[in-house]
Structure 1
Amino acid sequence: SLGQFEHTIIVAEPGAKLHYIEGCSAPVYSKQSVHAGVVEIYAMKESYVKFTTIQNWAGHIYNLPTKRAIAQEGARVDWTEAMLGSKATMVYPTTILAGKGAQTRNISLSFADKDHYLDVGAGAIHDAPHTRSSIISKSVAKDRGTANFRGRIKVTSRGFNAVGHMKCDTLILSKEAKSETIPRLLSEIDDVDLSHEAFVGRVSEEKLFYLMSRGLSREEALGMIVNGFFEPVLSDIPFEYSNELRKLVEMSIKGM
Structure 2
Amino acid sequence: MKIIKTMKKLLKFNTIVLFSITMLLMSCGNSKSEDEIIEQNLSEIVMQDFATTINSIQLPKSLAQSSDPYASQVSFQMQFFKGFTAAFANLFTVPENALAAKKGSKTLSKSTTTQTYTWSSEGITFNYKITEESDRYIFAYDIVSQTYTGSYLNGYQLKDGSVAEINFLNNGEDYLKLKWTNLDDVAKMEMDVNGSKLLIESNLNNNSGSMKVYEEGVLTSSFVWNEDGSGSYTDHIENQTFAF
Q: Same fold (TM over 0.5)?
A: no
For CA contacts below 8 A with separation 6 or more, give which structure has more relative contact order: 2
Higher fraction of helix: 2
What is the TM-score with the length of structure 1 in the denominator? 0.25
Higher fraction of strand: 1
Greater Rg by CA: 2
